A and B are shown apart, each in its own frame.
Chain A
Amino acid sequence: DSGVTQTPKHLITATGQRVTLRCSPRSGDLSVYWYQQSLDQGLQFLIHYYNGEERAKGNILERFSAQQFPDLHSELNLSSLELGDSALYFCASSPIGRGGYGYTFGSGTRLTVV
């Protein structure tokens, strides 16, 4: 157990639908990062939140959004889903200002869009 918790582990939904992925960071970590892993694009950084505020955006589609709540858990919202959104979505966390020591990743949410 890495200490980063992601739910659900698996999600199957239809095109056009909206889903929410949840992440609880490791205790004490203020930063949460979201990554997408797909066969086509590999591992891509989506977005970073630090203590409730957005810090950096990567290759995140406009149909996707995220937020971090006061208890530091984060949610990634994916809407108007397309077949190409099928992927493994990872959450990772790091302590304040210590991203250079590497992140701790959760076990991922496998999203299948049918």
Chain B
Amino acid sequence: AQTVTQSQPEMSVQEAETVTLSCTYDTSESNYYLFWYKQPPSRQMILVIRQEAYKQQNATENRFSVNFQKAAKSFSLKISDSQLGDTAMYFCAFMKERGGADGLTFGKGTHLIIQP
């Protein structure tokens, strides 16, 4: 079974700063996908960024980027130029290959607060 660990229950930074959220995972799979989801107060789960394990290049989406270290089983999320709207719960998630049939395994989440 896979496990996903987010060691930072809560983080707080000033607007415009850069923040990094940590995530580690444990798996015996060689091919898999990793995701970061954002859950704002509206409760909606929003996909922020995804990474395919067989790709060495780190994924980026505008202000969001990841540092994927496959050997270390680490998948951190960096948010640059943070904005008030980035305040949310952030969940790291793992998916085995197989088209996602077996669902996502989520970490416990990090509550990120962006201060004005």
Interface residues of A (CB under 8 A from B): 2, 31, 33, 35, 42-45, 48, 50, 55-56, 58, 88, 90, 92, 94, 96-105, 107-108, 110
Contact = CB atoms under 8 A, between A and B. Distances in A.
11 contacts: A2-B44, A33-B103, A35-B104, A44-B106, A48-B102, A88-B43, A99-B95, A100-B50, A100-B52, A108-B43, A108-B44
Contact of A31 (B43, B47, B91, B100): B100
Contact of A101 (B50, B97, B102, B106): B50
Report, as a range, how many residues of chain B touch the other chain.
20 to 34
Interface of B: 33, 35, 42-47, 50, 52, 91, 95, 97, 99-109
A56 B45 contact: no
Contact of B44 (A35, A42, A101, A107): A107
B45 A90 contact: yes
B42 A50 contact: no
B99 A56 contact: no
Contact of B33 (A31, A44, A90, A100): A100
A37 to B, nearest CB: 9
B100 A43 contact: no
Contacts of B42: 107
Contact of A92 (B45, B91, B99, B101): B45
B46 to A, nearest CB: 8
Contacts of B46: 105
Given A55-B101, A56-B103, A107-B42, 17 more contacts: A31-B100, A35-B103, A42-B108, A45-B102, A45-B105, A92-B45, A97-B99, A98-B100, A99-B95, A100-B100, A102-B47, A103-B47, A105-B44, A105-B45, A107-B43, A107-B44, A110-B43
Nearest to B104: A45
A45 B65 CA distance: 26
Nearest to A44: B106
Contacts of A100: 33, 50, 52, 95, 97, 99-100
B101 A102 contact: no
